[in-house]
Structure 1
């Protein structure tokens, strides 16, 4: 029951829009879940907003939606994630996310449009 309540709170924070947030501050909805451990479903939902997810032969790949280039591979799927950093300038938003114990994902967005500019990964 506790997991259900925390999941409902998570999704209501993530997917509700606020009149208090300016259109170029869309990323502020992520602040409440900074350093919060996301379960498999939550991690996939957020990642699918930013990148493509492809599964093949028991492997899970992340790919850049604009170039369709793979940039990260998970041998045991996506089990959990945590957004570890959210920084922004007048034109860019950078988000860092740990996925499983395997990788650190970096995504850069255009602040005004919310469009992904770059995504990459480093393995831990």
Structure 2
């Protein structure tokens, strides 16, 4: 019975993946337009951030839409298909849970932020 449920959800993921990615593509908002100097400053600040994510995770899609809305160029690291990203997430954050925003401050101290709502709130507070 366990095998049946495992296969059922695997097939469901395979069938739903194209629809989820199409939905993301169609509903992603236009980004904020800033002056070039202001956008360059924000791009510089984004270099201290990284988003660990799965491509078809609905919560990751939610965060990626906000990144687009705020015109942020934060590197997206696939923790599902890239073993080195998954291992870094596990070692640094303590668990493989996505989305996870890695925040590195000026002193090199790293903070791992889980939960899509908390990540979006942080991004709005810092960049909106």
TM-score, length-scaled by structure 2: 0.27
Larger Rg: 2
Larger RCO (CA within 8 A; separation ≥ 6): 2
Structure number with the higher helix fraction is: 2
More strand as a share of residues: 1
